[in-house]
Amino acid sequence: MATETQEESTGLVFHPLDQFIVKPLFGDGPIHWYTITNVTLWMAIAVVAVLALFVFGSRGRAIVPTRTQSVGEMIYGFIYKMVEDVTGKDGIKYFPYILTIFIFILFANFLGLIPMSFTTTSHIAVTAVLGFGVFITVTLIGFVKNGPSFLSLFWMSDAPALLRPIIAIIEVISYFVRPVSHSIRLAGNIMAGHAVIKVFAGFAAIALISPVSVLAITAIYGLEVLVAGIQAYVFTILTCVYLKDALHPHH
Amino acid sequence: MPQLDFSTFPNQIFWLLVTLVVIYFVMSRIAIPRIGAVLAERAGTITNDIAAAEELKQKAEAAEAAYEKALVDARAEASRIVAEAKAEIQAELDIELQKADAAISAKTAESEKAIAEIRAGAVKSVTAVAKDAAKEIVSALGGKADAKAVTAAVTARMKG
């Protein structure tokens, strides 16, 4: 890689992508599907955090909530309202799935901001499973609920007759691009921010630049905190929008 | 790029699915029913409290109205008592005044009578003194006093 040649000439060490390497926690063998890796560890930490917030935090079932319970209630209310507003009343039954997706992405993003951690959502394998999972589920729901009339999603009946086939082609293409953009948006945002922080951290080795570097890391870290929340929100609201298309395909 | 190292994909996908299933069960079996119940209970409590507050407010308004009414009644009662007392006092006063007037007029009449008597007595004695004085003056001047003429003259003078 180009970074290695730089390293030799200037003494700077850039390994911005090393943080994304998946490695086994125990031993150094090959990675099978069942191997316990750092992915396992950080996903387990995410599960523990979810348990702490939603099970331990709300154990009091208090009418006047504690701080932790209040956070859980806020997330619940936020996603519930989002599902209700975007997909309508008949989308409410998918609320647990959407909440699961949101919670996972939110916790993975924020846990990834802990220094030296591993960010599971920075991997296209993870986000693609989420993105294609949403895509396939939503498409199936669309066909099961509406039958063949689900295809009217692509047929703009209020467009001029001449343009309708062209619009239909564009709509079909954009429909199939959805899962790709859906998953790459999340992984790309998270990965880019983390890589940029690492690059600036590499510059901190030079005494002259290090104050600027530290300031830049601080600033980008703040930005990344925003991005972590916003990307979880964006992923979830797009899921709701796709679900709405599946439930109500007629424009 | 480690993201494109396909040999790690099965591992990541497997653990992701495990994680999602665990989170899904935690959320759908524990968190969502619990939080939903808490939120519903809270909404119920708030509604009940608002209803109770409304009821208490109405009670307070009723109590205030009763208080106002009692106040008005008390005022009316007080003014009635005052008016009664005034009337009573006025009646007593009138009686006393009449008594006093009667007493005063009786006294006045008595006094007038006494004055008249005194005046009459005085006129009589003045007449007698004037006759005597006239007789004496006439005799002192050397005339012979005719009692009848002197009396007539004095009486004529007294009238004038």
Please give the Cα distance from A31 to A24 (Å, whole number).
7
Q: Touching check for B16 and chain A: CB below 8 Å?
A: yes
B31 and A55 in contact by Cβ < 8 A? yes
pLDDT of residue B133: 84
Cα distance from B6 to chain A (closest Cα, Å)? 9
What pLDDT does residue B154 have?
A: 77
Angstroms from A59 CA to nearest CA on chain B: 9
Mean pLDDT throughout A67-83? 94
Would the CB atoms of A31 and B8 count as touching at under 8 Å?
Answer: yes
Identify any residues that bridge with A37 across adjacent strands, giving them in sequence order.
Answer: A24
Contact A55 B10 (CB under 8 A): no
Distance between A100 CA and the closest CA of chain B, angstroms = 5
Tokens read off for A141: 């729901």
The pLDDT score that the predictor gives to residue A49 is: 95
pLDDT value at residue A5: 46
* pLDDT confidence band for A61 (50 / 70 / 90): confident
Give every CB contact of residue A250 below 8 A, 6+ residues apart in sequence: A149, A152, A153
Whether pLDDT at A226 is above 90: yes
B31 close contact with A: CB closer than 8 A: yes
Residue B145 — very low, low, confident or very high, per pLDDT cuts 50/70/90? Answer: low
* Residue A37 DSSP SS3: strand
CA distance to partner chain A, nearest, from residue B55 (Å): 22
**Domain residue spans in chain B?**
9-159
Chain A residues touching B11 at Cβ < 8 A: 22, 31-35, 37, 39
State the pLDDT at residue A157: 81
What Å distances lie between residue B7 and B4, B13, B122, CA to CA? 9, 11, 162
Q: Looking at residue A4, what is its pLDDT?
A: 47
With contacts defined as CB-CB under 8 Å, which chain A residues touch B34?
58, 61
Rounded to an integer, the average pLDDT of A1-10 is 48
DSSP string, A131-155: HHHHHHHHHHHHHHHHGGGGGGGG-
| Number of structural domains in chain A | 1
At A11, the pLDDT band (50, 70, 90 cuts) reads: low
Q: What is the pLDDT of residue B160?
A: 62
Residue B83's pLDDT band, with cuts at 50, 70 and 90, is very high
Please list every residue in chain B whose beta carbon sits closer than 8 Å to the beta carbon of residue A198. none
Residues in Cβ contact with B88 at an 8 Å cutoff, skipping those fewer than 6 apart: none
Give me the amino acid identity at B10: P
How confident is the model at residue B55, as a pLDDT?
A: 96
**Is A55 close to B30, i.e. CB distance below 8 A?**
yes
- The minimum CA-CA distance between A225 and chain B, rounded to whole Å, is 22
- Cβ contacts from A onto B, under 8 A: 124
Residue A84 has pLDDT above 80, yes or no: yes
**B15: chain A residues, CB-CB within 8 Å:** 37, 39-40, 43
Minimal CA separation from A122 to chain B, in Å: 8
Res. B81: pLDDT tops 90: yes
Q: Decide if pLDDT at B10 tops 50.
A: yes
Asked if the model's pLDDT at residue B149 lies above 90, the reply is no
Task: Check CB contact under 8 Å for A61 and B37.
Answer: yes
Is A104 a residue whose pLDDT tops 60? yes
Q: For chain A, where are the alpha helices, taking DSSP H only?
A: 2-10, 38-50, 67-87, 95-112, 124-146, 164-203, 210-247
Q: Which of A83-92, A107-116, B22-31, B128-137 comes out lowest in average pLDDT?
A: B128-137
Question: Rounded to whole angstroms, how far apart are CA atoms A204 and A216?
Answer: 10
Mark yes or no for CB contact B15/A58 under 8 Å. Answer: no
What is the structure's pLDDT at B4?
87
Which range, of A26-30, A200-204, A243-247, averages the lowest pLDDT? A26-30
| Confidence band for A1, pLDDT divided at 50, 70 and 90 | very low
pLDDT in tens, A166-213: 999 999 999 999 999 999 999 999 999 999 999 888 888 888 888 999
Average pLDDT, chain A: 89
Whether the pLDDT of residue A19 is over 60: the answer is yes
User: Nearest Cβ partner of B15 from A18, A39, A54?
Assistant: A39
pLDDT score of B142 more than 80: no
Torsion of CA B97, B103, B105, B111, to 10 degrees: -150
What's the confidence (pLDDT) of residue B152? 81
In the predicted model, what is the mean pLDDT of residues B45-71?
96
The partner residue sitting opposite B11, judged by closest CB among A17, A35, A69, is: A35
Give the structural domain span for A17.
2-247
Encoded tokens for B30? 């524990």
Contact A145, A246 (CB under 8 A): yes
Q: Cα torsion for A243, A138, A43, A62, to the nearest 10°?
A: 40
> Where does the pLDDT of residue B92 fall: very low under 50, low under 70, confident under 90, or very high at 90 and above?
very high
More confident residue, B145 or A114: A114
- Mean pLDDT (whole number) for B89-109: 94
DSSP state for residue A28 in the 8-state scheme: S
Contact check, Cβ <8 Å, A34/B12: no
Put simply, whether B19 touches A (Cβ < 8 Å) is yes
How many C-beta atoms lie closer than 10 Å to residue A223's C-beta?
13
Res A25 pLDDT > 70: yes
Tell me what the mean pLDDT of segment B115-136 comes to: 86
* Closest-CA residue of chain B to A75: B35
